[in-house]
Structure 1
Amino acid sequence: MARKRNHLTTDLLADALHRLGIGAAAVDREALRLRMDLPEYNGFAEDDAVAAALRDGHARRAFAETGVSALRSTVPALRSEPGGDAALVWRLRVSIPLLDDGRLDLRIDVPPGETAAEILDEMALGGDPTRRLDGLRAALAATDTELKGRLRQAVARLRGQIRDDLHKIGADAPTYIAHLDRSLRARIFTPSPNLTHVIGDTLKTVRTRAKVVAREESGRRRLRDRVGFGGYIDKFVPARRLNRRIIFHMGPTNSGKTYAALEALTKAPTGTYLAPLRLLALENYEALLERGLRVGMVTGEEVLGEPDPTHTARTIETADLRRPVDVAVIDEIQMLSDPDRGWAWTNALFGIPAKTVIVCGSDDALSHVRRAAEAAGESLDVVTFARKTPLVALEAPVPLEAVQPGDAVVAFSRRAVHEIRETLVAEGRSVATIYGALSPEVRRAEAQRFRDGEAEALVTTDAIGMGLNLGPLKRVIFSAVTKWDGTTTRSLTNPEIRQIAGRAGRFGHQDEGHVSATDEASLGPIRDALAGAPTAPAADTRFYVRPDLIAIEAAALELGTASLADVLVHFSRATFYDGSPFQPSEMEEALEAARAVDKARLPIREAFAFAVAPIDRRDTVSKAVLDRWVQARAAGTFVPALRARVDGELDDLERTVKLAAAYLWLGRRFPDTFDEVEATKALRSRANAAIEAQLQRTASQTIAAGVKR
């Protein structure tokens, strides 16, 4: 009943907004109702009152854009983050040193107090960051003093414990202090009824680890650094020189976290955006171009744009870990935990040489990001973003025959996508189609057809979870809540469900997003995920890493081998000691590829490039093509552009596009061997066009039963 009552109230506000000449969809009416303190049912308000509330909201937004930075420069201890509607949530950063010389700050973020909050509100409404500034400082000082008084005894105990630790470990005291300092700089405490216990428990764990680190035998540490990844962090010399600041924009989909990061990137003199997908790199390359910047784009296959750009958009695997920039944005940071590609996020998080590193992602990645900041000795600030539109799990399932215009049906295999597509077309729906085997260009074209209304419904895999603007999408309907992950069929995790479901109800297009499933049994896991049910802690929380070329050549020299497979086995079995924070990335495919490449007796540097070339190694045709390319490189002959028909079945066309991408990828590394780049690009364009034409042609008529999947 509460939801219906709210709708009645917000409908009344919508009427008032229309009378004021303002589109109702452009205003968060529920937030406006709360700001005006209207009752949930029949909350009528005069037009003048609505207009005044909107003016207040505009003033607060303007202050957030211009006044906050000015205020922070005069009162550095203040922190702010977006709250509901246009409001700002203010915090006072209280720092309490734990050593007599002022080191080891305990940092606590607390509400600024009633008087300070009143002054801050006046500043926002008046657009004046100097209004009653002395009074604000006095009120904040009182809050600071009051908190320190409450914690005096607890802090005294902590100081005594730290002094005892330092006395016992003696000569290793500097190492102990350095580790404790890194850990404290990555932690911000917040008020709670048991704050002293939280601080005490946290410091007990951190002190224990600091003592272990301090007491490690130095020769053993050097050995680990030499044979394993113990010195992994220090190898990123340009990054270590910068004393980087890490900011985590943490929030769900449709919360504006990446938009805010790109705003900061745009204002920086130099910067880079690191994307999980070529499609996202391209979209943000175009977005940065539209803002008038000198922009370049780099992916594994191509380089676009200005020859000496101030800003670049890149796929994460191509991150430049040598050239310093002012701001770097790392998107979808939760991909750190991906066994196949997580190594690229690990490299970027530890190694991107930027003064400010903004990482964007869900709260599932917080523990990883915090541990990375601690390990690198860098500061971490967490900025929390809330979703801009509500996401609602529907009470009943939505069978395929009930799919409506604006819906997306999600499946988890290419075959399932095509089966659902056939069903919807037979029901009279025009359909756009997106799945992982399609190239970024085709996925983008299909998404555009859905946005433009040319296709009523969208059938997709979890490929929609990242990198697509799906504008009018209102309902996401899961056809399953399990997926094959390459090893086994498993249930979707709560973060995976939230990531996919979050594409519904895009801010500016819909008032809220709806999520359902095609069957009753799947609704329970979806409701649990949207309600914020936590995911079971990962059994292994180490960072994924993959040996780079320098490490591979050094290991080959140490082992006295020219075999890439031997070197990879060495890394995967022998160099990740017990207790290491790192683990090898999934290497089975790479090992299989290395064994095949070793037969050609290429230099290990070249063998590594072919072993990690982006082809589908489950496809025998693609593997055979790559084998021929390896042999051509070994023989010193040219590799001509691909020759393929573009009037065949979908899977043949998809293979052609993937092999063309692999040819271009290798062409960037071996231009003297793969020298027909333009012809290969032309073939890829023709194949993409043929795929898109075939999808369009069959989007609104029954697909013949014999279509090959």
Structure 2
Amino acid sequence: MILSGRSVTAVLGPTNTGKTHYAIERMVAHGSGIIGLPLRLLAREVYTRVAERVGPQNVALVTGEEKISPPNARFSVCTVEAMPRETKASFVAIDEIQLAGDLERGHIFTDRLLNLRGRDETLLLGSATMKPILLQLLPGITIVERPRLSQLFYAGQKKITRLPQRTAIVAFSADEVYAIAELIRRQRGGAAVVLGALSPRTRNAQVGLYQEGDVEYLVATDAIGMGLNLDVDHVAFAQDRKFDGYQFRNLNPGELGQIAGRAGRHLKDGTFGVTGRVDPFDDELVERLQSHEFDNVKVLQWRSAQFDFSSVSALQRSLDAAPRVEGLTRALPAIDQQALEFLARYPEIIDLADRPDRVETLWEACALPDYRRITPAQHADLIQSLFFDLVRYGTVNEDFLAEQVRRADRTDGEIDTLSARIAQIRTWTYVSNRPGWLADPTHWQEKTREIEDRLSDALHERLTKRFVDRRTSVLMKRLRENAMLEAEISVNGDVFVEGHAMGQLAGFRFTPISGTEGSDAKAVLAAAYKALALEFEARAARLHASGNGDLAISSDGLVRWLGDPVARLSGTDHMLHPRVILLADEQLSGTARDHVVARIERFVNHHISTVLKPLDDLSRAEDLQGLAKGLAFQLVENLGVLFRRDVADDVKTLDQDARASMRRYGVRFGAYHIFMPALLKPAPAELITLLWALKNDGLDKPGYGDLIPILAAGRTSVVTDTSFERTFYKLAGFRFLGKRAVRIDILERLADLIRPLLQWKPGTSARPEGAYDGRRFTTTTAMLSILGATPDDMEEILKGLGYRADSVTAEEAAAFLAAQSPSASAAADNATAADDAEADDADKEDAGDASAVVDEGQKPVDVSQDVTPAAAIVDAALGEDQAPAEPKPVLLWRPGGRNDNQRGGARQPDRRGQGQRAQGDARTDGRSEGRRDERARDNRKEQFGKNRDRDSNKGGFSGKGDRNDRGPRPDRDTKAQGNRFEAKPPRKEKPVDPDSPFAKLAALKEQMKK
């Protein structure tokens, strides 16, 4: 039966025509009324508006899950499914009646518009596409068409990250909605999400974020097309296909128009378009959407309202009845009918539903909504449990209900988990609101509502945390309000603006935290800089007034203020005057910037002049003249270190006054180097290395970053790395010698130890430790100690300094020394453990002295000791471990040419007429050394057994130890002779080198004689 349309008015038109507002105005004009809405969310919105007009005590809210029923309520706001089948209310309105053609819910809307009437007035609200079918089904109906208050325009396709603010992005699956919201959060600060699966409280909270301006984007399903009043300027379709409960299909133009029509409010025009992977709309579709011309609804979904409860099978037959009126079509089985079909297969259900009242109870149980979106079979099982309780006990088992509610009462977990719990509790909220289903419905209604609210709030919090950057949203809102932003900076430089972390302020540079990107990044940074403007000025003032102790230059070339980088150094033509480049954001400008730059430049100049004061003083020396001034210039250019061999001629030419004047500036004339000991300390060495690296782009060269920690440790020697830039070793005050690099001042101490060993003459005095025959020496524990080297390292070091090695067996060395000094041999035989302990103590003292930097006033090393037994030399050569089966040979070291170590370090020609250079890379001719060692082994027996003269190329000696008896052997050819080390007659007396540490001692002896 279809009621007449004579008292019915249909208000039709596109979205934004004010239909819902008109219905509310008409309802409150009556004494009572009911309005049905398509969504619980929209019902809640309308309920709020009506309650504001007439008072909450006069308005009821009735949905499947929520019921607010004041005793004397005159007006009811319902979902269409919750509307009564009959009413005595004066006014009835049904919104979005075009949903009568929906395959899933259409039959419910059809039933209400055909069978429910108000006593005085009935309004049907919906799209103009319903006009023909309404005129057909409801003769006498009044049609009122309302035009759209604003226009709608197509904006084409845009990337998601380029969509304008106040945009609603539409998708049709939860996964797609979440993915888009995540992208919007990263790029634009955040988005609210609206899905049909969310609880009304959660959806309201999300819509509130958008409406209040906390976020500028809304990502939603087609739920927003059902009359939600939102301030949307643009609607972008990220999908144009949806699953309608039966299949995936494209949206028809009417559905697209319903959603696109959400853009624009009241008199403000709106736009729509596509985004993501959706192809642009064709011109015909665009024209239809802009003009709101859609295909008319031709048939309405219908299902019989005349149920036969005599049996389950009779009920099924009544549900399958076909409509007898043209324009109606039988609806596909809905969820309740599907559940009934499943339950009808269970014999126990058929047996229990044996009376009409029980069949009606079964049908009421089948109306339970499937909030959980589970399979029909699982949903039917739950309905079966409820039906059994209702039939057998009259109410649902509260123990079972309590257990189900308890499982859902947890707020931990992520979005999907909370959504599932909300769907679970919504099921029991529906059960608690069914009349007669529970013994204490009020208690369970309150209980389930409380849990649902708590879960909804937790879900809203998770959604906001995941899809909304609160920092960005708050700042953007405050910027739109043109408000003064409040900034706070923690002690470690964390910047908070309006209570939200924005980034890190180090010195005068602000680094935003991750996530500040996209088209809104500039606005967010502008907000941060706006809040930091005063802080930049305050910091500039503090830096300008700070002391030198607050500033430092690090090994990476950065100038740091209180640990934060404020500038970096760059090389210039003048190595000691690098350029200062300020590290500051452009917000530091004007006078404040100039003051900061000036203060840093003053500090850099002061630091260099203080740490490198000896070098600076030498560069400014005005009392140096002639060669001394030239030598000082070279020393400054080479940053305080010169190889003596490279300036040997200049050094020889200097008179004593010139040398004395240079010594006053801290210059030391060593055996191997001309250097300034004060610059070998870690701080000057580190700064020198940095300045050279700045000028020569060496900060990134191999070795720079690794050598700096070694310099700071004050090491006397280090293991070399061939991958490092060798220049850094010299700059750091080290000499590269094979496997080890030795500090320059330590090499000069080594020269002090070697010099007496080469000057000693057999028979003149007690033989010092390490002296052999006056022309050769062996390494001593003192040498190893000051160098921190092993015997193998020592061999590399001495070769690098230009010494050559002869090898003899330990037995030969012992025999020779015994022949030299019988008393020493006897002493060796009587050596005791106490002597060894005393020697160990001496080694420790030498090792301790080696760590000190030698300056000009240091006393020469005392090397005068008793004659060392031959066994001690053998032990020193073999090391502390037990001697192997074949004793290692003893290396006897001699100068490569003239005694370069005692004659000023000048480059001297060797026997082949070539310059013997003490190169830092310690390159030696292995083949020549091998030939010498082979000849040494061939001649040992002849040399020691027959007491013959030793070959001069081997540093030979006569049995009597007389150096004047040596000479070339007649059986050697001229070429071989040229390669030998030949003993020469004693040279004529030459003036004592004023640089010799023994010069002062000789002068003192002369004074004592007088």
Give the shorter-chain TM-score range: 0.5 to 0.7
Structure 1 vs Structure 2 CA RMSD: 2.6
Q: Which residue does 1:686 correspond to in 2?
A: 454
SS for the counterpart of 1:392 is strand
* Distance across 1 between alignment mates of 2:26 and 2:158: 41
Q: Does 2:339 align with 1:593?
A: yes
Instruction: Give the superposition deviation at 1:333.
Output: 1.0
Q: Which residue does 1:469 correspond to in 2?
A: 229
The 1:351–1:327 alpha-carbon spacing in structure 2 relative to 1, beyond 3 Å, is same
Can you list the C-alpha shifts for 1:552-591, whole angstroms capped at 9, x where unaligned?
A: 2xx343xxxx32xx33541354x31676554333215334
Instruction: Give the superposition deviation at 1:327.
Output: 2.0
* Distance across 2 between alignment mates of 1:475 and 1:578: 44
Q: Which residue does 2:368 correspond to in 1?
A: 613
Instruction: Give the superposition deviation at 1:610.
Output: 1.5
The 1:247–1:579 alpha-carbon spacing in structure 2 relative to 1, beyond 3 Å, is closer
The 1:365–1:536 alpha-carbon spacing in structure 2 relative to 1, beyond 3 Å, is closer
* Distance across 2 between alignment mates of 1:577 and 1:479: 39
The structure 2 residue matched to 1:391, chosen from 152, 170, 179, is 152
Tell me which structure has the larger Cα radius of gyration.
2
Instruction: Give the superposition deviation at 1:674.
Output: 7.3
* Distance across 1 between alignment mates of 2:2 and 2:54: 36
Can you list the C-alpha shifts for 1:472-523, whole angstroms capped at 9, x where unaligned?
A: x211111122222222222211111111111111126xx3101110157232
Amino acid at match of 1:691: L
Task: Output the TM-score relative to the length of structure 2.
Answer: 0.42
The 1:658–1:626 alpha-carbon spacing in structure 2 relative to 1, beyond 3 Å, is farther
The structure 1 residue matched to 2:35, chosen from 273, 287, 297, is 273
* 1:206-217 mapped onto 2 (5 Å cutoff): none
Can you list the C-alpha shifts for 1:241-290, whole angstroms capped at 9, x where unaligned?
A: xx851111111111112212221112122221111112222222221121
- Is the contact between residue 274 and residue 330 of structure 1 (CA under 8 Å) also seen in structure 2? yes
Instruction: Give the superposition deviation at 1:467.
Output: 3.9
Q: How many residues align?
A: 444
- Is the contact between residue 572 and residue 584 of structure 1 (CA under 8 Å) also seen in structure 2? no
Q: Which residue does 1:545 correspond to in 2?
A: 302
* Distance across 2 between alignment mates of 1:290 and 1:387: 26
- Is the contact between residue 505 and residue 512 of structure 1 (CA under 8 Å) also seen in structure 2? yes
Consecutive unaligned residues of structure 2, counting only runs of 5 or more, are 470-513, 516-1010
- Is the contact between residue 42 and residue 227 of structure 2 (CA under 8 Å) also seen in structure 1? yes
Q: Which residue does 1:454 correspond to in 2?
A: 214
Q: Does 2:189 align with 1:443?
A: no
Amino acid at match of 2:390: R
Instruction: Give the superposition deviation at 1:447.
Output: 0.8
- Is the contact between residue 319 and residue 352 of structure 1 (CA under 8 Å) also seen in structure 2? no
* Distance across 1 between alignment mates of 2:164 and 2:23: 35
Q: Which residue does 2:525 correspond to in 1?
A: none
* Distance across 1 between alignment mates of 2:455 and 2:413: 10
Bigger proportion of residues as helix = 1
- Is the contact between residue 32 and residue 75 of structure 2 (CA under 8 Å) also seen in structure 1? yes
Q: Does 2:344 align with 1:576?
A: no
The structure 2 residue matched to 1:312, chosen from 71, 76, 82, is 76
Q: Does 2:425 align with 1:660?
A: yes
The 1:615–1:466 alpha-carbon spacing in structure 2 relative to 1, beyond 3 Å, is same
Amino acid at match of 1:695: L
Q: Which residue does 2:245 correspond to in 1?
A: 486
- Is the contact between residue 430 and residue 456 of structure 1 (CA under 8 Å) also seen in structure 2? yes
Instruction: Give the superposition deviation at 1:445.
Output: 1.0
Instruction: Give the superposition deviation at 1:324.
Output: 2.0
* 1:419-430 mapped onto 2 (5 Å cutoff): 419-430=179-190
Instruction: Give the superposition deviation at 1:624.
Output: 5.3
The 1:445–1:520 alpha-carbon spacing in structure 2 relative to 1, beyond 3 Å, is closer
SS for the counterpart of 1:684 is helix
Q: Which residue does 2:131 correspond to in 1?
A: 366
The structure 2 residue matched to 1:252, chosen from 14, 17, 26, is 14
SS for the counterpart of 1:698 is helix
Q: Does 2:468 align with 1:700?
A: yes
* Distance across 2 between alignment mates of 1:671 and 1:313: 23
* Distance across 2 between alignment mates of 1:569 and 1:679: 36
The 1:357–1:531 alpha-carbon spacing in structure 2 relative to 1, beyond 3 Å, is same
Instruction: Give the superposition deviation at 1:673.
Output: 5.5
Q: Does 2:99 align with 1:335?
A: yes
Amino acid at match of 1:693: E
* Distance across 2 between alignment mates of 1:276 and 1:338: 12
The 1:292–1:531 alpha-carbon spacing in structure 2 relative to 1, beyond 3 Å, is closer
* Distance across 2 between alignment mates of 1:616 and 1:655: 9
Q: Which residue does 2:386 correspond to in 1?
A: 629
Amino acid at match of 2:94: I
* Distance across 2 between alignment mates of 1:578 and 1:626: 32
- Is the contact between residue 568 and residue 591 of structure 1 (CA under 8 Å) also seen in structure 2? no
Q: Which residue does 1:220 correspond to in 2?
A: none
* Distance across 2 between alignment mates of 1:340 and 1:274: 17
- Is the contact between residue 505 and residue 513 of structure 1 (CA under 8 Å) also seen in structure 2? yes
* Distance across 2 between alignment mates of 1:470 and 1:414: 21
The structure 1 residue matched to 2:65, chosen from 296, 301, 320, is 301
* 1:548-559 mapped onto 2 (5 Å cutoff): 548=305, 551-552=306-307, 555-557=308-310
* 1:467-546 mapped onto 2 (5 Å cutoff): 467-471=227-231, 473-507=232-266, 511-518=268-275, 521-524=279-282, 527-532=286-291, 534-536=293-295, 541-546=298-303
Q: Which residue does 1:672 correspond to in 2?
A: 438
* Distance across 2 between alignment mates of 1:529 and 1:656: 42
SS for the counterpart of 2:280 is helix
SS for the counterpart of 2:157 is coil
* Distance across 2 between alignment mates of 1:433 and 1:663: 25
* Distance across 1 between alignment mates of 2:455 and 2:145: 43
* Distance across 2 between alignment mates of 1:696 and 1:258: 30
- Is the contact between residue 33 and residue 92 of structure 2 (CA under 8 Å) also seen in structure 1? yes
* Distance across 1 between alignment mates of 2:468 and 2:91: 46
Instruction: Give the superposition deviation at 1:634.
Output: 4.4
Instruction: Give the superposition deviation at 1:437.
Output: 0.9
> Percent identical across equivalent pairs?
26
Can you list the C-alpha shifts for 1:591-643, whole angstroms capped at 9, x where unaligned?
A: 43114444443411111111121124741576655454344434423342412
Amino acid at match of 1:612: A
SS for the counterpart of 1:515 is strand
SS for the counterpart of 2:198 is coil
* 1:17-416 mapped onto 2 (5 Å cutoff): 232-233=1-2, 244-292=6-54, 294-354=58-118, 355-374=120-139, 379-394=140-155, 396-416=156-176
* Distance across 2 between alignment mates of 1:649 and 1:623: 28
Larger mean CA deviation between 521-530 and 418-427 belongs to: 521-530
The 1:287–1:387 alpha-carbon spacing in structure 2 relative to 1, beyond 3 Å, is same
Task: Output the TM-score relative to the length of structure 1.
Answer: 0.59
Higher relative contact order (CA 8 A, sep 6+): 1
SS for the counterpart of 1:662 is helix
Instruction: Give the superposition deviation at 1:652.
Output: 2.9
